[in-house]
Chain A
Amino acid sequence: MSCNRFDHPTSRRDFLQTAGCGFGAVALAALMGEQQAAAAPLRVAHRPAKAKSVIFLFMEGGPSHLDTFDYKPLLNKLAGQSLPASFKAPITAMGETKSPLLECKRTWKQHGQGGLWISDWFTHVARHADDLAVIHSCASSGINHAGGVCSMNTGSVFGGRPSLGAWAQYGLGTANQNLPGFVVIKDSEATVVNGVRNWGNGFMPAVYQGVEFSSEGTPIKYLDNPKGVDRLRQRDKLDLLAALNRDYNASRASNTELDARIKGYELAFQMQAEAPEAVDLSQESEATKKLYGMDNEATAVFGRNCLLARRLVENGVRFVQLYSGAGSKWDSHKGIEVNHSRLCNAVDKPIAGLLADLKARGMLDETLVIWGGEFGRTPMSEQGDGRDHNPTGFTMWMAGGGVQGGRTYGATDDLGLYAVEDRLHVHDIHSTILYLLGIDHTKLTYNHKGLPERIDQNEGHPFTRLLG
């Protein structure tokens, strides 16, 4: 582990003073907290890259890789028996180390020119097999949902670190100041495990935190004027505020935070106009909505969110994270057939629609789509017909953003318990995602308590082979 890279420290005030106090500096200040310049933001990629934005499809609760993308014929041969002694016993969340192996009831087929094995739970996505870079060897440190979801989002099993979306924004900035650069949309009102800190800014300034959009109604909390306040009245209030602030600021020009606050209110006002526009699906054709499965009750919710994700990316949002099964709904300690049948069905068509739509619009190359959960599930059964958590080997896939699809990367053992080939720990996955965005994760550091912090806690390596 090496801690040898960091930026030159300086205070925000120095930075702005020396940069001059023109509008540019003020606008920058509006989007920067006190600490931001403390680790001079990069805002340009280190390396030319195709991917400009990310849509992360997070299946919360832990989707089974063994029943979807990681085909293990041996599992059904040994079903009912205990894990062979040749396998090291894992520590699992519910202690299901000794339970019999559970057969996979899916029908598997090879798809696309690459011949990817995909189960019948993802028949729509399977049509895009040649776009999918399927990584079979993912691994995480969190054996429970809290640690797992936190880890997949921030790289650490416990809270306090910035999330992947925050790092991406910190590295590349936002392409549209009137919208947040990092947006999160859930498929229900349930709370994602650990709550809002999954898309938090950790020790970075708040400007990098993810902003939750609701998929219906008002997209952002507090975006609507208070009841009874129309846009004119809001404008009057802001004008009064600006007038009072201008007088106050006039004799305090050296304090650029004061101007940043004026700008912050103006940006908020513009966001009030622009954000609803960005999520207005009435501008989309019926055919498009159908493509995403919005015409069917089972797929309508996630379809709608996938379509919103595309619109947000089109509008310059850097990082969109969609949660399926918010509140650990993919968790299936028992009755995995019922649980996963419903959830896979709810996301299969919408995801396929998203991939097709991005492709048709020529956006897929610039948009990295990521599918996965906080961990996979065990080959061992739980309560007869469920599976326990498996963070030691699971599948994620990526599409677009320049990755080479139609093939698999890494492998788990013959029962899908441990990643054995090209194991990619969450730190490696994060490094890889930044790499695909053109960022050298070892150079993207944020100075915190005297340490040059990186997303991977100095442990990750990008898996560059994904680019082919």
Chain B
Amino acid sequence: MGEMNRSRLFSTFVWLTGFALLPALAPGADDDAQRAAMTFFEKEVRPILVNRCFECHSNTKQKGGLRVDHIGYLKTGGDTGPAVIPGDPAKSALMEAVRWTNEDFQMPPKNSGGKMPDAEIAILEKWIRIGAPWPEDGSKKVVVTEGGFTEEQRNYWFFQPVKKVTPPDAGGKWVRNDIDRFIAAKQAEMKLKPAPEADRHELVRRVYFDLHGLPPTKEQIDAFVGNKDPKAYEKLVDELLASPRYGERWAQHWLDLVRYAESDGYNADAYRPSVWPYRDYVIKSLNDDKPYDRFVKEQLAGDEIAPEDPSVLIATAFLRHPVYEWNQRDARGQWDIILTDMTDTTGELFLGLSMGCAHCHNHKFDPILQKDYYRLRSFLAPVQWRDDLTLATPAEKKAFNEQQAKWEAATAEIRAKMDALTKPILEPRVERALTRFTDDLQVMTRKPADKRDALEKQLAGLVERQMEHERRTFDPMKSLKSDEAKAEYKALEAELKKFDALKPKPLMEAFVATDAGPAAPAVAIKTRKGEQQIEPGFLSIIDTSLPKIKATKTSTGRRTALAEWITRPDNQLSTRVIVNRMWQYHFGRGIVATASDFGKLGEPPTHPELLDYLTTKFVKGGWHLKPLHREIMLSAAYRQTARQEPDAIAAKVDPSNRYLWRFNPRRLDAEQVRDALLAVSGELDPEAGGPAGDGNSSRRSVYTMKKRNNPNELLRALDMPAGFASTAERQSTTTPTQALHLLNGDWLLARARKLASRVEGIEDAWLAVLGRPPTDKERATAEGFLKKRAGTTRPASDRAADNGEDAEAFKENSPHERLLVNTNEKEGDEFTVEAVASLNSIDVNASVRTLVSRWNGGKDSLESFGWSLGVTGEKSRYKPRNVIVQVVGEDENSNIGYQVVASNIHIELGRRYHFVARVSCTGKNITFTVRDLDTPGAAVQSAVVPMDIRSKLSQGSSQIVIGGLNKRAPTHQWDGRIEAARLVTGYVADKALAADPEKWDAGLVIWRASDPLNSMFAWNGSDTKSVEEADPFRQAMNDLCQVLLNTNEFFYLH
């Protein structure tokens, strides 16, 4: 068990503020009187306290923060202040409570026994009147210092100034730099011995993963291992620190800490399309070695310190990361949650203290007052989330505005006409969005913006976002009532389009925050007894000075003042916290292991002097991170091997390696695993920066979309944080479901196939995946495996024929898997799909063979809005071979809905059919017609099936695809022939349908296999040209590669 038994805190740690004399009676009282008082207390008073109050106010529970099991607690009181003022019953809250004079403050409460008998109340009154005598209890004597904190609290190491430390003279020849002297001194004390230096193979793998999050290539390994230069290691570290890959890796740590995500996190989980510049800002800041103090200031107050500089302004996205619910009518509640989240994160991230505990009461374990929590919150309280700013320089804005003005002037008349058509319908909707809020919020939103106070601006801002949502999602073609009006609008739209050349390119939206104005909203602690206004301030225990706050014309200046304080060179909290984090990410464990909690509940530091030594050096060196990385990585401590088993002493005194008798073995992080898989399969796309790709893209994981409700499965299975709260330490879990994913999931299998296709044989596979040749034993094992599975250890000479020339054939693992359609036009919510096709097989499970789609297969996000026409699989609940349409859009209640609309028309395999599905959101149904073309005179089968989805079928992010879904998913792909397919806007009349595609004359998309392929279409297929089954050796090699990608050696740095 851990060396620190925390329960001892309870006996020694007494929470008291403003506690004066302990002996209850005034000095000079004689012994008899004292004894009488004690007898009165023990016989009369204590039983009342025990019977009436202890259940909720003693050692197990402290409702309202109050304990009554010692006079000290009573005098200190709870959340609402002192409970007992000795000698003054009238001023003692305890009496007010037990007398039930205040309706909101009645003790004991109705459901816990109710009001006490009057006789008992009289006893309590008498007891307080005579000075509230209490028997002395030596063990609870508490020494109080200035400000109400105890000596013990003040002396707590974390609150002490950072010490100037001289490295101890220890370690002898092992020492490479000063870090090692501290490590060696501690080891000597504990009789531990450091491990030998790691060999070059181990080192090169470690530093590449550590600094770049990627495995070294074979060339990179060879270059380092074979380098005779005595400075080879130093040079490697410098080289890697200078590479842009460094920022991509280390940004991930910071993104964890700021709970970076790219979606709102509630029901709609709307994507945040303009948050990614913040991610790029973090990467660039690290690559540029921006001083940490500057980095902090920009994120907390970039809008105040450099409002005109877009590269600084974007840093305030830090204040935008909390989750957000777009349709929350409780605007006050939502804003409170957002502010709480910002305050908690700021406390953990920069100060290393869990402030959250002090939100409702003084912190139970650390000397953080509830007031301190609100003081911190006061700095952040003026923030307003802005949607009206752009990431552009003043010059860019000026140019944009000038051009925009030209376009507006030229189009004023057209737009006025459009508004005249839409406004009568749109405005009542916007008004309705407003009246869904409570009256007080409506009143403040109706005020002119310049008449609102700060809080009103913030809340009305939230209300207006919902009004704006109505405007943004308004679809005139749906809402305009008459066909006439629609036609008129369309014509105007076309007219407007003619001016597009005049229109400036839109500026990048700024996902940032500023203050609501130069005046701050009030911040108050609310308690049962009323409100107390709180001004910004620091942690009372270390700094009671008032912050120097300078308001600007547009901002309170509060956050600048907070940032200045956090980045003061003598701030003992923030400086140690960041240095410790650097250490933690390098060694897998911080000098303080709980990197966001340096308080009493966290772990004590293993090497406090080293932490102070590094902190002093870091601040003195200008807050640069790269020299700190360098110093840590050049130490002998860092260069130790992880391949050292504990000796008897280590196993006994330090089994978990707190004192670094070896390097800590570690599993790769989720992103390291995914990136390494792509790297070794040769697919890694090095494109840096910009909007994120989805999980199927080959870009680094830091550029993968982070949707809070829809995380990348592989990354989440490997403990990527969910992005709701700041994460300081990642987990490393092992579960059977994780193993299933890695064994059977398509994504990893595809990497294995890619890898197998690029390696020559066993030796090559080992080198690619593990960066070393196989041992003789491993080679024999692998050969045995290949022989058993394929009967040979060498590839067959000829491969399966490629039949990719047949334009009608859609086949898995061929170049013609799916046909992607490139068009920006949308079919809307009324459309017709028509195709002539035959199907060779259905899925053995429940997957649907897809004929035509606009769908990514998702069911729960705005991006996944779409539809798909296809044929059901063997285990489908709609029975096999059923022609169905799957739709994702908004239902009647504007919730995201997914529905399977099944025709119950079942087709036969291997026959040509003419398929038609006419989808109608206004008709609330889908009309299917299917005709067997191989059977002369076969009747047309048709069905009209109700549909619950009402809108937005074409609003998702997917493109139109023939023969599959928007992403590659073999079980969902068509297996057979598609001769032609078309997609037409609107409900196509029976007479305009045709089983002969040559007769098709109109459509958004028309594709015929017999026509030459035009630029609107692009084939997408598997690059694995050989079909696995046809080549047992290829199959066995794929398996071998998949196994290698699952090995512990690949997953661990050990």
Say yes or no: A253-B645 contact (C-beta < 8 A), given A91-B329, A95-B436, A218-B845: yes
B136 vs chain A, min Cβ distance (A):
25
Say yes or no: A159-B845 contact (C-beta < 8 A), given A89-B438, A253-B645: no
Q: Decide: B731 and A450 in contact? CB cutoff 8 A.
A: no
A42 vs chain B, min Cβ distance (A):
16
Say yes or no: A158-B895 contact (C-beta < 8 A), given A8-B1, A233-B789: no
**Cβ of A257: which chain B residues have Cβ within 8 Å of it?**
667, 732, 734, 1052
Q: Decide: B900 and A240 in contact? CB cutoff 8 A.
A: no
B1028 vs chain A, min Cβ distance (A):
6
Q: Is B400 an interface residue (CB 8 A)?
A: no
A91 vs chain B, min Cβ distance (A):
5
* Chain A proximity mask over B1029-1043: 1 for CB below 8 Å, otherwise 0: 100000100011011
**Cβ of A35: which chain B residues have Cβ within 8 Å of it?**
731, 733
Rounded to whole angstroms, the CA-CA distance of A160 and B846 in the bound complex is 32
**Cβ of A450: which chain B residues have Cβ within 8 Å of it?**
354, 594, 596-597, 599, 601-602
Q: Decide: B736 and A267 in contact? CB cutoff 8 A.
A: yes
**Cβ of B330: which chain A residues have Cβ within 8 Å of it?**
91, 143
**Cβ of B323: which chain A residues have Cβ within 8 Å of it?**
158-159
Q: Decide: B736 and A268 in contact? CB cutoff 8 A.
A: yes
Listed residue (A94, A202, A216, A258) with the most chain B CB atoms within 10 angstroms of its CB: A258
Say yes or no: A144-B348 contact (C-beta < 8 A), given A4-B60, A14-B655, A253-B645: no
Q: Decide: B737 and A8 in contact? CB cutoff 8 A.
A: no
Q: Decide: A2 and B6 in contact? CB cutoff 8 A.
A: no
Q: Which residue of A lies closest to B658 (CB)?
A: A11
Q: Could you tell me which residues of chain A, from 58 to 98, have a CB within 8 Å of some CB in chain B?
A: 61, 89, 91-95, 97
Q: Helix, strand, loop or mixed for chain B's interface?
A: loop
Q: Decide: B655 and A17 in contact? CB cutoff 8 A.
A: yes
**Cβ of B788: which chain A residues have Cβ within 8 Å of it?**
236
**Cβ of B722: which chain A residues have Cβ within 8 Å of it?**
159-160, 197, 200, 202
Q: Is A281 an interface residue (CB 8 A)?
A: no
Q: Helix, strand, loop or mixed for chain A's interface?
A: loop
Q: Could you tell me which residues of chain A, from 77 to 123, have a CB within 8 Å of some CB in chain B?
A: 89, 91-95, 97
Find B1048's partner among A245, A268, A331 (CB 8 Å cutoff).
A245
Rounded to whole angstroms, the CA-CA distance of A202 and B265 in the bound complex is 14
Rounded to whole angstroms, the CA-CA distance of A44 and B330 in the bound complex is 41
Q: Is B744 an interface residue (CB 8 A)?
A: yes
Listed residue (A33, A189, A191, A301) with the most chain B CB atoms within 10 angstroms of its CB: A191
**Cβ of B778: which chain A residues have Cβ within 8 Å of it?**
244, 247
A131 vs chain B, min Cβ distance (A):
28
Q: Is A3 an interface residue (CB 8 A)?
A: yes
Q: Is B498 an interface residue (CB 8 A)?
A: no
Find B859's partner among A189, A253, A258 (CB 8 Å cutoff).
A189
Find A251's partner among B594, B645, B860 (CB 8 Å cutoff).
B645
Rounded to whole angstroms, the CA-CA distance of A89 and B603 in the bound complex is 48
The number of inter-chain residue pairs (CB within 8 angstroms) is: 314
Find A449's partner among B266, B597, B777, B1028 (CB 8 Å cutoff).
B597
Q: Is B921 an interface residue (CB 8 A)?
A: no
* Chain A proximity mask over B409-443: 1 for CB below 8 Å, otherwise 0: 00000000000000000000000000111100000
Q: Is B215 an interface residue (CB 8 A)?
A: no
Find B737's partner among A29, A211, A225, A240 (CB 8 Å cutoff).
A211
A448 vs chain B, min Cβ distance (A):
9
The stretch of B172-180, B356-364, B626-634 in contact with A is B356-364
Q: Decide: B731 and A205 in contact? CB cutoff 8 A.
A: yes
Q: Is A188 an interface residue (CB 8 A)?
A: yes
Q: Is B473 an interface residue (CB 8 A)?
A: no
Rounded to whole angstroms, the CA-CA distance of A247 and B643 in the bound complex is 14
Find A191's partner among B708, B731, B734, B898 (CB 8 Å cutoff).
B898
Say yes or no: A189-B900 contact (C-beta < 8 A), given A144-B267, A158-B724, A206-B717: yes
* Chain A proximity mask over B257-274: 1 for CB below 8 Å, otherwise 0: 000000001110100000
Q: Is B18 an interface residue (CB 8 A)?
A: no
Q: Which residue of A lies closest to B1028 (CB)?
A: A228
Q: Could you tell me which residues of chain A, from 1 to 35, have a CB within 8 Å of some CB in chain B?
A: 1-4, 6, 8-11, 13-15, 17-18, 29-35
Say yes or no: A237-B1039 contact (C-beta < 8 A), given A92-B329, A243-B781, A449-B728: yes
Q: Could you tell me which residues of chain B, from 512 to 541, have a CB within 8 Å of some CB in chain A?
A: none
**Cβ of A190: which chain B residues have Cβ within 8 Å of it?**
859-860, 897-899
Q: Is A464 an interface residue (CB 8 A)?
A: no
**Cβ of A32: which chain B residues have Cβ within 8 Å of it?**
733
Find B739's partner among A31, A214, A264 (CB 8 Å cutoff).
A264
Q: Could you tell me which residues of chain B, from 38 to 66, have a CB within 8 Å of some CB in chain A?
A: 59-63, 65
**Cβ of A215: which chain B residues have Cβ within 8 Å of it?**
877
Q: Which residue of B lies closest to A206 (CB)?
A: B733
Q: Decide: A14 and B1 in contact? CB cutoff 8 A.
A: yes
Say yes or no: A4-B743 contact (C-beta < 8 A), given A207-B733, A241-B1043: no
Say yes or no: A334-B892 contact (C-beta < 8 A), given A6-B6, A264-B738: yes
Say yes or no: A143-B328 contact (C-beta < 8 A), given A251-B645, A261-B734: yes
Q: Is B327 an interface residue (CB 8 A)?
A: yes
Q: Decide: A33 and B789 in contact? CB cutoff 8 A.
A: no
* Chain A proximity mask over B880-899: 1 for CB below 8 Å, otherwise 0: 00000000000011011111
**Cβ of A255: which chain B residues have Cβ within 8 Å of it?**
665, 1052, 1054
Rounded to whole angstroms, the CA-CA distance of A31 and B734 in the bound complex is 7
Q: Is A327 an interface residue (CB 8 A)?
A: yes
Q: Is A146 an interface residue (CB 8 A)?
A: yes
Q: Decide: B655 and A244 in contact? CB cutoff 8 A.
A: no
Find B738's partner among A1, A191, A206, A238 (CB 8 Å cutoff).
A206
Q: Decide: A264 and B325 in contact? CB cutoff 8 A.
A: no
Q: Decide: B645 and A254 in contact? CB cutoff 8 A.
A: yes
Q: Is B785 an interface residue (CB 8 A)?
A: yes
Q: Is B875 an interface residue (CB 8 A)?
A: yes
Q: Is B792 an interface residue (CB 8 A)?
A: no
B586 vs chain A, min Cβ distance (A):
18
Q: Decide: A193 and B656 in contact? CB cutoff 8 A.
A: no
Q: Decide: B744 and A226 in contact? CB cutoff 8 A.
A: yes
Q: Is B740 an interface residue (CB 8 A)?
A: yes
Rounded to whole angstroms, the CA-CA distance of A35 and B721 in the bound complex is 14
Additional pairs, 15, CB under 8 Å, beyond known A217-B845, A451-B601? A33-B719, A33-B731, A91-B438, A95-B438, A197-B722, A216-B877, A237-B1042, A241-B1043, A252-B1054, A258-B1048, A261-B739, A268-B743, A327-B895, A449-B728, A450-B602
> Which residue numbers of A lie inside 8 Å of B, CB to CB?
1-4, 6, 8-11, 13-15, 17-18, 29-35, 61, 89, 91-95, 97, 143-147, 157-160, 180, 188-191, 193-197, 200, 202-203, 205-207, 211, 214-218, 220-228, 233-234, 236-238, 240-241, 243-245, 247-249, 251-255, 257-258, 260-265, 267-268, 271-272, 301, 327-328, 331-335, 449-452
Q: What are 13 of the A-B contact pairs (CB < 8 Å)? A: A10-B1, A33-B732, A159-B265, A190-B897, A191-B898, A196-B709, A206-B717, A220-B737, A222-B743, A268-B737, A268-B740, A332-B893, A449-B596
Closest 3 CB pairs of A and B: A95-B436, A160-B724, A33-B733
